[in-house]
Structure 1
Amino acid sequence: MKRLKKIFLTIFLSIPILIEFLGCANPLPPSGGPRDTTAPKIKKFYPISGQTNYKENYVEIEFDKYMDKNSVQQNTTIIPALKTDFDWSGKELKIKFLDKTEENTTYSITLGSEIQDWKGNKPDEAFSIIFSTGDVIDSGKITGKLISANPVGASIFLYKLPNDTFEIKSFDITKEKPNYNIQIGSSGLFEIKALKNGYYRLIAVRDIFKNGIYDDGEDEFCAYTDDIYIKQDSIVNVKIKLGPVIDNLGPMLYDVIPLSNKLIEANFSEPLDSNFLFPISILLRKSEEKDNDTAIKPTSIIFSPESRYKLLIFVSENFDTSKSYRLECKSDKDISLRDTIGNIIRDTANSIVFKPVAKELKLFPTLITPPLKDSSQNVPPDKEFYFVFNIPLKRQYYDKSFSLTNLAENSAEKINISFKTDNIIIIKPEKKLSGDSWYVLSFQSDSVFSIENEKFTDSTYKYHFKTADLRNYSGISGSLKTNVVCSGDFYIIVKNQLTKTYIQTKINNKMEWKFDDLPPGEYEFEVFCDEDNDSKYSYGVAKEFKFSERFFLPKDKVTLKPRWKIENYQLEILDK
């Protein structure tokens, strides 16, 4: 009997603890039925947005679903910032202010587009409550759209600029947190309300670390085209394109692996630019020596077949295996190794000491990547053909080694032969090939030698291919009508809505443009002003701040039919 009483007492005393535990946990909706994929919505909230003279120390929000509490708390922004406590009761949330609100101040509380319910569903756009502790709601507004293939989770950062011109010039967005941080939903649309009079700077970022500040070299980025002036009751509409991560850091050399007594492998932190693989950019000398005259000279540098992060460095003489050597990448803007963006190798991570090996390695040239598969079809008539070999070749004339023949006419096509790197040969026809025609590209290897004078295995490689039928292709040409003043050239882009591919061309001085040989399909247009004259759209710069270039999205959509060209199409963009 006493034992039963003890068990009963233990269960009775555990009930309050169990209730408290369950209350703290995320409440789960009833199970069963089809999977819920609908976006969560807000049913009620307090105060109403636009409330003035608000004196309470909380806001209340009721959802139509059970929410993931952590996602709501992590994606709620209060501006100006206040310390808060999140108090849940089922689907209802009370956000309590632990700090005292300031007098005559407009506050904005935003639940970002990354909040989610217990099924992982996210809202279509962010939600905001705006109230003022004084008589006036600051009523300036910025509305807009973020253009991105995946806008969800990106953010709009808005900074209130100082009034002093000098302070604006020294303003650094990489060191300042924004006054407003708005998360973007699937629609890309955003709205920033209750803005005070003054100038603002707007950027788009994908805040990878969720730290509320732009991290240079880590976050995707774009600056708006200009600073924005806001006054009471004004509404400014903007469009901004989210750009890629801005890479300002050069590659680093982090390992050297001896492969033989005349070959080493150098590993880098990122892919390198094949246009700057110069033997003179590498210095190899005994680690205790400083005289460059005694250095071993590389004869060739090529990419490893494994990766563009790795270089194979061939030298003219054997390493002294009793000594250690230092590999140093020269820091010279004209010849230095660099990444694919153009950043030169860092001078703080450009050298490594290594111990060579006595191993002898005799390498014979072989073809490791052919230009295309035999019997390929739908080959572009203007294609260039790349032959990739395992080791560096002698740079000599190979006119008799390569040929291109039109099989229907049994006629030879004139070709240009060049080297991309010491192990990559490019074959380019002098003129565009005929459409819907069979060709054979031949490679006779008996006259190909490595830099060590090793001969290629005597063989003939043949690659038959059929070019695409351009008669089924289409095209469009026309002119641009605009009142936009551009200090550079206008460029026009056509985007295929099915394949998501695009082609770009420059609009000439007569404001005329033309696209030939486009696959049939539906196309949209984009026009941008190339103000820095680099032939590509510029997203701006965060450090040493620069605005992005202006771009325009005409509403025009055209359908190009097979074997049908559209001419004299007038595209119009206006600077409103």
Structure 2
Amino acid sequence: MRNFFIKRRIHIIFLGLLLACANVKPPSGGEPDRTPPKIVEFSPTNFTTNFKENEIYIKFSNWMERGSVVNNIFLNPPLKYEIKWSGKKMYIRFPINLPENTTFNLVLGTNVADLDGNKFEQPFTLVFSTGTKIDSGRIVGKTVLGKLQNVYVYAIPIKELADTSFNINKVFHYRTQPDKDGIFSFEALKYDSYIVVAYSDKNNNKQFDFGTEDFGINADTILVSKTVTDTISVLLAKPTDETSPIITNAFAMNQHTIKITFSEPIKVTDTSVNRLFEIQDTTSKKKNFPFAWTFDPSIPKEISIFFKDTLSLSVFHLSITDMKLITDTVGNPLKIETPILLKGSKNPDGNQPAPLQTQLFLKSPKDTFSIMFSKPLDTNKTRFSIKCINIEQNDTTSATYHFVNFNKIQILIPNLRWKGFYNILVETDTLFDFWGKAYFKNKFQVQLKVNDEPKLGSLKGKLIAGLDTSLGLPMIMAMSEQGTYYCKVVNNDFELKNIPEGDYILVAFYDQNQDGIYNYGRLNPIKFSEKIIKLSGKILIRRGWTVEELRF
């Protein structure tokens, strides 16, 4: 009997521990509550001065998911604190006395959630001071784009950025989150100069991860004073790739071909490869230049270059004459960090030429298209017969072509249709490569698909704002899930023609560097974004319609 009571006591104690650690909630039943949680009581009151306590009390309207609350408390300036719970009540306790004559800004972010997953509609801010006055600086703004409940906004004093290699997660900053409409505010700031940075926290680690998360910065230093409250806009953009591609490998595949592999997908902006690439025999110092190149879109990190003469078995030094003409997909130029050496190959070139692509897509039925072969051809001897088979209607059309260079033909097919699906048959009795080797009875098939006809609309309107052209060329940026489109503002009038239907936000801005696009800015070193003049609400563009007399 004694053992029974001991075991029962242990069970009761264990149950008590579980209740102390878990989220306490009322009995379940019925439909889930979809009402967003609110804070219904708190102490001290907002803008309390001479605060001498060591505890903040907050009561919620709903039963809360406590982890989400604890992980979304931001205290500026930061101090150590402890959290205690009692039902819907939370107590934030400071283990040491608060510093004197200091204004505190406590923010509960919009990722705070109740037990049904409902989140705050807007952040909660509590301001109090341990002195006789409260700092009264204020910044109000709006973030555009990004999943707003995962967006954080920092206000960083300029003096914290003296070190150009600063980490924005480690320097002192005020932190908040925007509400469901993107509006944010910083209250009770010290009078100072600030920058404002916003980012989309994709991995929910409450820190900005450079190079992987959407990011934005304001357009200039923000001076916060007794008489100035700055209102700003911050646009979030995908992270900018500022890393140049490099050559990771180069080797001779055979007696005429060198394959070059890059660190990332590349673009070659000049097709005259004899002006781009050069190899030099390290023994005889003789130079050789390629005459053709191929690029397989399915392997965008590689190109092959071809030489008319047979390469020796010597060691060669490969160099690029103008690295600006080889870039990654966002325009960063090639960078060569170490000398590139490769050895010639005695392997014969026995591979049959074939199209590098088996599927092609056209934006419009009026477009021409090209087929690139895997190696150069003898364009004087090789003759193709090209037919286009409409798969849906089962009819056949002859096509015309011409050689663009030694390994590319351009094809023109009349009467293609929107959303059409075709088989392109390329045949030749004898296919000759550049070095004279013949391949007989060749038949290649390439699938061709024409996009659906785009659903386009237009808009024209007037920008209602005083413009200062000394700040740059006024422009309009129309942003939607379909893409981003630009036009100039002339005498406050603007017009965007033939843009895909959908919901848009218009951004009027000064194009300071006159490159025709909006510059989102950068960190390390700091480069401010271009100045925003005005933002619109959502505007619906419909197919075949023009939104006229828009005024914003």
TM-score, with length taken from structure 2: 0.77
**Which among 71, 83, 86 is matched to residue 86 of structure 1?**
83
Q: 1:257 deviation in Å?
A: 7.9
AA in 1 matched with 2:41: K
Alignment partner of 1:483 is 2:466: yes
Name the stretch that deviates more: 202-211 or 122-131.
202-211
Aligned partner of 2:476 in structure 1 is: 492
Aligned partner of 1:389 in structure 2 is: 372
Mapped to 2, the partners of 1:452 and 1:297 lie a distance apart of: 16
Does the residue aligned with 1:527 lie in a helix, a strand or coil?
Answer: strand
Aligned partner of 2:298 in structure 1 is: 306
Q: 1:416 deviation in Å?
A: 10
**CA 1:467–1:248 in structure 2 vs 1: closer, same or farther (change >3 Å)?**
closer
Q: Which residues in structure 2 correspond to 1:238-317 (within 5 Å)?
A: 238-254=232-248, 266-275=260-269, 278=273, 290=282, 293=285, 300-314=292-306
Q: 1:250 deviation in Å?
A: 1.7
Mapped to 2, the partners of 1:212 and 1:312 lie a distance apart of: 45
Mapped to 2, the partners of 1:308 and 1:464 lie a distance apart of: 20
**CA 1:133–1:437 in structure 2 vs 1: closer, same or farther (change >3 Å)?**
closer
Aligned partner of 2:66 in structure 1 is: 69
AA in 2 matched with 1:550: K
**Which among 208, 211, 221 is matched to residue 215 of structure 2?**
221
Mapped to 2, the partners of 1:123 and 1:475 lie a distance apart of: 37
Q: 1:305 deviation in Å?
A: 4.5
Q: Which residues in structure 2 correspond to 1:13-92 (within 5 Å)?
A: 13-27=10-24, 30-92=27-89
**Which among 235, 251, 254 is matched to residue 229 of structure 2?**
235
AA in 2 matched with 1:47: P
Mapped to 1, the partners of 2:488 and 2:387 lie a distance apart of: 34
**Which among 195, 200, 204 is matched to residue 206 of structure 1?**
200
Contact 1:495 1:523 in 2 (8 A): yes
**CA 1:435–1:386 in structure 2 vs 1: closer, same or farther (change >3 Å)?**
closer
Q: 1:465 deviation in Å?
A: 8.9
Mapped to 2, the partners of 1:245 and 1:155 lie a distance apart of: 15
Contact 2:520 2:529 in 1 (8 A): yes
Alignment partner of 1:505 is 2:505: no
Contact 1:130 1:194 in 2 (8 A): yes
Contact 2:327 2:334 in 1 (8 A): yes
Aligned partner of 1:536 in structure 2 is: 517
Contact 1:554 1:572 in 2 (8 A): no
Aligned partner of 1:409 in structure 2 is: none
Aligned partner of 2:392 in structure 1 is: none
Mapped to 2, the partners of 1:159 and 1:69 lie a distance apart of: 29
Alignment partner of 1:344 is 2:313: no
Q: 1:245 deviation in Å?
A: 0.7
Mapped to 2, the partners of 1:86 and 1:217 lie a distance apart of: 34
AA in 2 matched with 1:8: F
Aligned partner of 1:195 in structure 2 is: 189
Name the stretch that deviates more: 253-262 or 92-101.
253-262
AA in 2 matched with 1:230: V
Contact 1:216 1:542 in 2 (8 A): no
Mapped to 2, the partners of 1:424 and 1:41 lie a distance apart of: 65
Unmatched tracts of structure 1, length 5 or more = 374-378, 405-411
Alignment partner of 1:364 is 2:353: yes
Mapped to 1, the partners of 2:446 and 2:253 lie a distance apart of: 33
Mapped to 2, the partners of 1:538 and 1:460 lie a distance apart of: 46
Mapped to 1, the partners of 2:503 and 2:206 lie a distance apart of: 40
Mapped to 2, the partners of 1:173 and 1:310 lie a distance apart of: 37
Contact 1:393 1:448 in 2 (8 A): no
- How many residues are paired up? 537
Contact 1:145 1:239 in 2 (8 A): yes
Mapped to 1, the partners of 2:410 and 2:27 lie a distance apart of: 64
Does the residue aligned with 1:8 lie in a helix, a strand or coil?
Answer: helix
Alignment partner of 1:179 is 2:179: no
**CA 1:159–1:360 in structure 2 vs 1: closer, same or farther (change >3 Å)?**
same
Q: 1:518 deviation in Å?
A: 5.2
Aligned partner of 2:529 in structure 1 is: 548
**CA 1:345–1:67 in structure 2 vs 1: closer, same or farther (change >3 Å)?**
farther
Aligned partner of 2:394 in structure 1 is: none
Q: 1:92 deviation in Å?
A: 2.5
Q: 1:360 deviation in Å?
A: 5.5
Q: 1:55 deviation in Å?
A: 1.0
AA in 2 matched with 1:490: P
Mapped to 2, the partners of 1:187 and 1:531 lie a distance apart of: 28
Contact 2:256 2:311 in 1 (8 A): yes
Q: 1:224 deviation in Å?
A: 0.6
Q: 1:539 deviation in Å?
A: 0.5
Q: 1:306 deviation in Å?
A: 3.2
Mapped to 1, the partners of 2:207 and 2:21 lie a distance apart of: 31
Mapped to 2, the partners of 1:329 and 1:320 lie a distance apart of: 17
Contact 2:278 2:321 in 1 (8 A): no
Mapped to 2, the partners of 1:118 and 1:351 lie a distance apart of: 60
Cα RMSD of the aligned pairs, angstroms, is 4.8
Does the residue aligned with 2:197 lie in a helix, a strand or coil?
Answer: strand
1:276-322: CA deviation from partner (whole Å, max 9, x where unpaired): 6747656667xxx855935775554443453323444556677778x
Contact 1:251 1:346 in 2 (8 A): yes
Name the stretch that deviates more: 487-496 or 78-87.
487-496
Does the residue aligned with 1:293 lie in a helix, a strand or coil?
Answer: coil
Unmatched tracts of structure 2, length 5 or more = 389-397
Name the stretch that deviates more: 152-161 or 519-528.
519-528
